[in-house]
Structure 1
Amino acid sequence: MTEITHRFVQAGELRMHIAEAGEGPLVLLLHGFPECWYSWRHQLTALAEAGYHAVAPDQRGYARTGGPAEPGRYTLLHLAGDAVGLIDALGADRAVVAGHDWGAPVAWATAQMRPDKVRGVIGMSVPHRPRSSRPPVESMRRLFGDGFYMVRFQEPDVPEAAFDLDRAGTFRRMLYGMSGDGPSPPLIAPDGGGILDVLPDPEKLPGWLTDADIAAYVEEYAVSGFTGPVNWYRNLDRNWELTAAWHRAPIGPPALYIAGDRDIVAVGARGAIDSMTDFVPNLRDTVWLSGCGHWTQQERPAEVNEAVIGFLRGL
């Protein structure tokens, strides 16, 4: 069986922990929130066996990588810079960059800003959205209210304290609640509460998720906790300011988009998905996974692997 190995790599200013497998053309796998390299466990081995060098880092602020204390050092420019720095540190000229959840905007941005480094780009759950005409946080507050989770995450200290209080419970609620097996409620916190209050703690985990998986996430978060991950959200308006030069700029490399038809994020973005070729002209395919929720590559590993490897072989 293919082995997943671990090491640390200096990627620019950041000492990144990576999990990797295989040899061949480089494929970067960028996780989302609240995840880490472990969310790509099924893809690392499958890609290696298909002839690729698959690398899943813990991104800035997460798990074994950790990150700076200053919230302002978690902008999209930092995150795309980390991806480019990692490509260089691994000795590759270019890579295919795949991202899920928050990793998808990082993948899209890397392909948009540095197409010379990106052979292809794969987004899961979160489609590419062109830069909006106004800062996003106030727009979300008007649309969804102060309880919307991205608005709540602007508060200092409070969101991560709630997540860190019972990490096993946090991962059970998040991974089950937003899956195709869970209720996938709108992430709008009640007055005086947090988003975990709208996500049930399951009596039984779905078949794709085990107690050992939950324990693995808890162990990976043991040192760095949730402050770094939440800091990504605290830069939403700053990202908008910093990306003015790429306003409505196209993404040139060949692209693939994958999402579950029970993913509240993707379902809510159908307009952006249907019009994505306006800004991603080389979008080769959009793959919808029946009955799949938000955790695309964990819930449907075989189907995701097939779609990703088919895309890679077509490059």
Structure 2
Amino acid sequence: MEKIQHSFVNVRGLNLHIAEIGTGPVVVFLHGFPEIWYSWRHQMTAVADAGFRAIAPDFRGYGLSEKPPEPEKTTFRDLVDDLLAMLDKLDIPKILLVGKDSGARVAYHFALVHPDRVVAVATLGLPFVVTGPAAFPTDVLPKGFYMMRWQEPGRAEKDFGRFDVKTVIKNIYIMFCGSELPAASEDQEIMDLVDESTPLPSWFSEDDLQTYATLYENSGFETALQVPYRAWLEDYGVDELKVKVPALLIMGEKDYVLKFGEFDHYIRSGIVKNYVPDLEVTFIPEGTHFVQEQFPDKVNKLLITFLNKHNL
């Protein structure tokens, strides 16, 4: 960890934070929520030892990156355009992309819009998703599903505001470690789903929690609630929904995301390959939504094998 370097790049009028380690072909790691660059700490050091240059930015409005002036207008396309501008500033022509959760969606969006800049894409915790209202099956999701609650302007802010930032992050980590879709009853808010006595998972330390809390105390949750949740129905802006580079999907067998609509069937039946033809899929037994932090050695081995196969 002490070898990871930190710097800022001015991108589209904002100072964005990047963590970096290693030399060689560039692997860019894109985080989800409630994660941050730090969620890739195990992978960054491993791929650097394997001969790659690992770069993990904080998205705009996350962690140490500057907040946009109007967080409520942030889009997934903003994150894609930020990444392109960052690569241009750093004079990096092509990359291997790794994305987790909503960062996986940004990775695929970038590969669709800028296929000439991407060699291969690996994602964790989320397959390629079709966007738009038809892709968000509210009729088969629980009424109090957290994504629908957090899409309501002001509701999550009021819910989160009852607790300090550290408790909010702790609750989300515990909740997202479950294998069931997080959903609240009518008389509950999402934060009420976690009992305050519930311990952190064994692979997530108090120091890890404090690191996340400090970063979110800096950024707040405004941009994080806008993207991914309130921008979720945004489309990709391309005519053909086909990812034309090699791809890898790593899922934990106990990831609650598999119960999101038909995701389990969508992945296992191969329907996902209609959009990502050259896709390898690996399930990690006992893995939850945070599989890269829970089983770093297993994930690192899979990633490095994939990256070596599709090296620049």
TM above 0.5: yes
What is the alpha-carbon distance in structure 2 between the residues aligned to residue 185 and residue 286 of structure 1?
21
**164, 169, 172: which one pairs with 2:170?**
172
- Residue number in structure 1 paired with 2:272: 276
**303, 307, 310: which one pairs with 1:308?**
303
Offset of 1:281 from its aligned partner? 1.1
**146, 149, 153: which one pairs with 1:149?**
146
Offset of 1:267 from its aligned partner? 4.6
Offset of 1:200 from its aligned partner? 3.4
**225, 230, 233: which one pairs with 1:234?**
230
Q: Does 1:101 align with 2:98?
A: no
TM-score (norm 2): 0.91
**For structure 1, which segment, 270-279 or 31-40, has the greater mean C-alpha deviation from structure 2 after superposition?**
270-279
What is the alpha-carbon distance in structure 1 between the residues aligned to residue 99 and residue 62 of structure 2?
15
Residues 50-107 of structure 1, C-alpha deviations (whole Å, 9 max, x = no match): 1111011111221111422424532121111122222222211011111101101001
- Residue number in structure 1 paired with 2:248: 256
Using a 3 Å threshold, how does the CA distance of structure 1 residues 158 and 126 change in structure 2: closer, same or farther?
same
Offset of 1:131 from its aligned partner? 3.7
What is the alpha-carbon distance in structure 2 between the residues aligned to residue 8 and residue 287 of structure 1?
34
Q: Secondary structure at the match of 2:218?
A: coil
Using a 3 Å threshold, how does the CA distance of structure 1 residues 156 and 129 change in structure 2: closer, same or farther?
closer
Q: What is the RMSD of the two structures over their aligned residues, measured on CA atoms?
A: 2.0
Q: Does 1:191 align with 2:189?
A: no
Q: Does 1:211 align with 2:209?
A: no
Would you say the 8 A contact 2:75–2:231 is kept in 1? yes
Would you say the 8 A contact 1:168–1:214 is kept in 2? yes
- Residue number in structure 2 paired with 1:22: 22
Structure 1 residue runs of 5 or longer lacking an equivalent are: none
Would you say the 8 A contact 1:66–1:228 is kept in 2? no
What is the alpha-carbon distance in structure 1 between the residues aligned to residue 45 and residue 122 of structure 2?
18
Counterpart residue type for residue 245 of structure 1? V
Structure 2 residue runs of 5 or longer lacking an equivalent are: none
Q: Secondary structure at the match of 2:202?
A: coil
What is the alpha-carbon distance in structure 1 between the residues aligned to residue 183 and residue 115 of structure 2?
36
Q: Secondary structure at the match of 2:48?
A: helix
Would you say the 8 A contact 1:22–1:48 is kept in 2? yes
Would you say the 8 A contact 2:72–2:222 is kept in 1? no
Using a 3 Å threshold, how does the CA distance of structure 1 residues 47 and 202 change in structure 2: closer, same or farther?
farther
What is the alpha-carbon distance in structure 2 between the residues aligned to residue 185 and residue 86 of structure 1?
37
- Residue number in structure 1 paired with 2:73: 73
What is the alpha-carbon distance in structure 2 between the residues aligned to residue 12 and residue 25 of structure 1?
25
What is the alpha-carbon distance in structure 2 between the residues aligned to residue 127 and residue 103 of structure 1?
11
Would you say the 8 A contact 1:35–1:217 is kept in 2? yes
Percent identical pairs in the alignment equals 34
Q: Secondary structure at the match of 2:282?
A: strand
- Aligned residues, how many? 304
Offset of 1:166 from its aligned partner? 2.0
What is the alpha-carbon distance in structure 1 between the residues aligned to residue 45 and residue 246 of structure 2?
23
Would you say the 8 A contact 1:12–1:82 is kept in 2? yes
**For structure 1, which segment, 169-178 or 226-235, has the greater mean C-alpha deviation from structure 2 after superposition?**
169-178
Offset of 1:12 from its aligned partner? 2.8
- Residue number in structure 1 paired with 2:155: 158
**267, 283, 288: which one pairs with 1:288?**
283
What is the alpha-carbon distance in structure 1 between the residues aligned to residue 134 and residue 14 of structure 2?
28
Would you say the 8 A contact 1:14–1:82 is kept in 2? no
Using a 3 Å threshold, how does the CA distance of structure 1 residues 254 and 13 change in structure 2: closer, same or farther?
farther
What is the alpha-carbon distance in structure 2 between the residues aligned to residue 131 and residue 219 of structure 1?
33
Counterpart residue type for residue 265 of structure 2? G
